[in-house]
Structures are given as C-alpha cells and as structure tokens.
Amino acid sequence: MLRYEIQLNFFHPTIQPSTSSPASAIRGGLRDNIIASSGRRAIRSDPPTYSSILEDNSEEYTSEAESEASIDKRPDHVPARFVPTQRSDDGGYPSHHHHEAFNRTVSAVSLPVGKQLKDMSDKTQYERAIEQLNNDPMVHKEVALGRRIGFYRLGKELGAGNFSKVKLGVHQLTKEKVAIKIMDKAKMDQKAQKLLTREIQSMEKMNHPNIVKLFECVETLTRVHLVVEYASGGELYTYVHERGKLSEADAKPLFAQIVSAVAHMHSRNLVHRDIKAENVMFSSPTQVKLVDFGFSCLVERDQLLQTFCGSPPYAAPELFRDKSYSGELVDIWALGVLLFFMLVGVTPFKGETVADMKVMIMEGKFQLPEYISLMAGELIKGMLKTETDKRADIEYVKKNFWMRDCRFTKSYLSIKANIKIDDETEKSAINDKVWKIMNNYGITREMLVEENMDKGPRDAVIGTYRIVQFQVQGEMAKIAKDKETPPPSSSSITNGSPNHLSKKEKFNKNRSTTCLIL
C-alpha cells in the first residue's frame, strides 16, 4: 500500500508549478486570519456550536532573497514538497487503512495507527477515534465528502482566497473549535511553498497569548490542512473603519498587547515585516492577536534584509531608500503607523498614488491632530523617525510614559510534550493538568515517545497535546488575571471609558475561546 510522507524541497511528481501568481497560494493565509478568542477556555465534553468570522480576501506575498519586490494591497506544519514513498512491513509504517477513500484523503503521517485494539466497550476515547477512522463506513464517507480530516470534523466555510479556503473545525477528543486552512498543492508554485514553509516555521517558534497558535498540519495527497486557533472577532482595520478612531484609553491596552506580541517575536530573533491593522484580529472585545506570518523570517543579530515586502502605508522609508534594512526597525515603524491609525482613524502618510505616498514616507511628513495627547504624540514620533539610528526600539516603546499603566502580556511557558517535570513550579502545575486530561483520553507519555516527537505538528497525538495545553494555559492565565484585576466599579461601567469595546453583543456568546490566521 502506498503511504505518503512529507519531505522538504522536492515536488510531488504529479504536481506541476502553477502559472498563477507566485505567492498567491498562501496569501489567503494573510487574511485567512483566524485567531483565538482569549476568554476562559472551558475544557468541554459537549460539542461546541459553530460560529463565523469575516470572510477574507487573498493577497500576494514574496519570499526573502527570492523576490525582487512585493507590495501588499490588502489549523501543523507545512512542508515545501511532497514525495510518495512505498512503505513495507520491514521498513515503514504498518497499514491499517483498508478503505480506499480514507487512504486517498487522510494523512498517513499525521494520523497515528492504532495497535491491536480491545473490544469497543473497553477502549479509550483515543482508541475509539482510531477505530472509527480505520473501520467506520460513515466516517469514511465523511472523509470522502470532505467533512472530516484526521481527528477534525469540518463545518461551515469561514472564508476563501484564490487558492485556499478556511473552514471551522471541531477536534474529536477535546471538542475545541479550530480554524482549518485548506490549500490545494497543485496551485502552489515553488515560491508559494517556500513562503508557507517559512510561515509555519515562524509559528512553531512562538508561544504567546497575543499570537495565533498553530496546532497541527494534516497532509493528504492533494491538500495541506493547517489547524490553528479560531476566533470570530474580525480585523482591527474593519473595526476602526466602521466605528471610527479609538480613544486613548481604549487603544492603550490593545496596543500594549500588540507590542507584547512583537517583543516576543524579536526575543526569538523573528521579525514580522507586515504589521498592519488588517493583521490584528479581535479574539474578544478586549483582546487582540497578531496574525499572518508569511513575510516573517528568522534573523541573526544585526542581520540586514533586502526583500521589499509589506503594505505601502506601513512601509518604513529605508525600504524605499536603502538596499538593506533592519527587520526589527521596520516592525517598529509599522507599530508607529498602527498606533496613529488607531487614534486618528487613518494612516499618517497620504498620497494620490503610491509614488506620492512614498515621497511623504521618505520625508517623514505627517501631522498629528490637536486632540492627540502630548505623550501619545511623542511615542508616535519616536517610532516614526526616518533616521534608523534615532528610531525607538521595542523596549523604549514598552517603557514609554504613555504606556506606564499598561499590562504587557507574558509569553506562555514552553513545555515539551515528552518531558516530565517533578518540581513545584508553574510548569509542573500546567504539565500535570495537561497529562491528567491526556490520560483521560487514553494518551500516555510513552505514546508520544513512540510517535516520534520530530514530527511536530504533523502528528495527531502532538496536535491533541498542543490543544489541551492551549486550553489549560488559557484557563490558568484567565484565573491569574482575574485575581490581580479588581472588578470595575459601577460608575466606571456607566460613565466609563471603553465605550465601543464594551459592546460584547458583537461577539457570539457561544463562540469558541480559540482561533487563527495565516
């Protein structure tokens, strides 16, 4: 029986490079933005209801060192190439998939293969799930009809791009709602595959409450399925465009979350290079997530980059002026433009054409409205210095007087699935709770070792572990936040500040607490 294994840097022999736009295949990922809502994550036993998010539009991207220039107008790991390999009893994975449609559609790499199973009444939830995937005709039919992939039941379509679409999914064991981005391999050329691979690699290195989380990648012969956090809050851009500028009181906590996310990236030697309001998504009325890492890349200390990418209104002057640039300083400039947009409702640099806008950006000419406070204006000016050696860095932004009362979100603790922790630390408490839930599903530490940790998001057991850990960390973070944040007084609710953000009716009350965007 043919089994399919993911390998980088080789084309599947039946797939020819697409003549479509080089990177369009994954730029649906730019706005197949799907983030997770940050509310308290209840670990449910009953299936959640479906909810929707704004439909996205696709955009084009370019890869570092492969594209000369690219300008943007507007849930697992994804390898760059796919090669079928013959698996035999003496060299490969034993095959238990007897149904032809199942074999064509379900990833042999991602889905674990159960061993000799007991009677159904004695089986764990995990064993029953494997048994259904292998032998249940109804499940095979769902797979063939595109209603199921691996451990995920697929629901309504959330959005679509040129070569991809995003569907709502529910994980069979955890009942967690996720966003599943489905990409057609045949429509992805070499450049698009490289960008997608880079995006996944970046997401694998990050673990922060304000950055969308990658759970699993399910591979089939013809498609790649990225399973990520799901959220229904919509874009910051749409929110400001429809409701107008934010007050400084409302903008501060949101901007602090974005700064926290960017600081986390920079601490991991990652740069985003496409920060903009369209790539900031609401996961709850008061929480946002940074999404879309197609332009992100790993950099060495003081390394200069050369590819011009991103959105013109947010582009730093050195992108037009110099042959190379610092990725971190480009991110800081974009943060300055973003804060201006949040407080004013428009971007600072205007022009009838991109060429006119380019001149304004290079000269650093913009005007702050009189209603902007002195300290907010100083912070914006510090981030929008045309001279890179005078521009603020991320630490300056965090310590600025205007943000003195802000709470900067801490990164999640990184806990490897196959490491046992015996001390009395927070890691130990999280790890113990995660494994208690995993054991209830019938998944043990030994199974993770057997399943080969190197598969990362391409393994269903690892994907389940990541979802459970995400649920537990989110729940514990919410408890900690509630303990340190006093409840608002009645006067502050009636007279108070966050006017538009308090309108929680905009969000589905039954929505999942998680979500994505690629």
Q: Are 212 and 228 in contact (CB under 8 A)?
A: yes
Would the annotation count 181 as a binding residue? yes
432's tokens? 């113990």
Q: Who contacts 467 (Cβ-Cβ below 8 Å, separation ≥6)?
A: 171, 174, 176, 178, 215
What secondary structure does DSSP assign to 295-353, as a single string?
A: T-EE--TT-EE--B-S-GGG--HHHHH-S-EEHHHHHHHHHHHHHHHHHHSS-S---SS
- Which residue's structure tokens are 């995990």? 126
CB 281 within 8 A of CB 231: yes
Please report the beta strands in 191-333, taking only residues with DSSP state E, as ranges in sequence order: 214-219, 223-229, 270-271, 280-284, 287-290, 297-298, 304-305, 325-326
Instruction: Name the catalytic one among 250, 274, 292, 331.
Output: 274
Nearest to residue 335, comparing CAs of 234, 229, 404, 236? 236
- Of 50, 44, 49, give the one whose Cα is nearest residue 173: 44
459 is annotated as an active-site residue = no
CA 284, 286, 289 angle in degrees (round to 5)? 65
Of 155, 299, 197, 240, whose CA–CA distance to 518 is shortest? 197
Binding residues for ATP: 181
Catalytic residues: 274
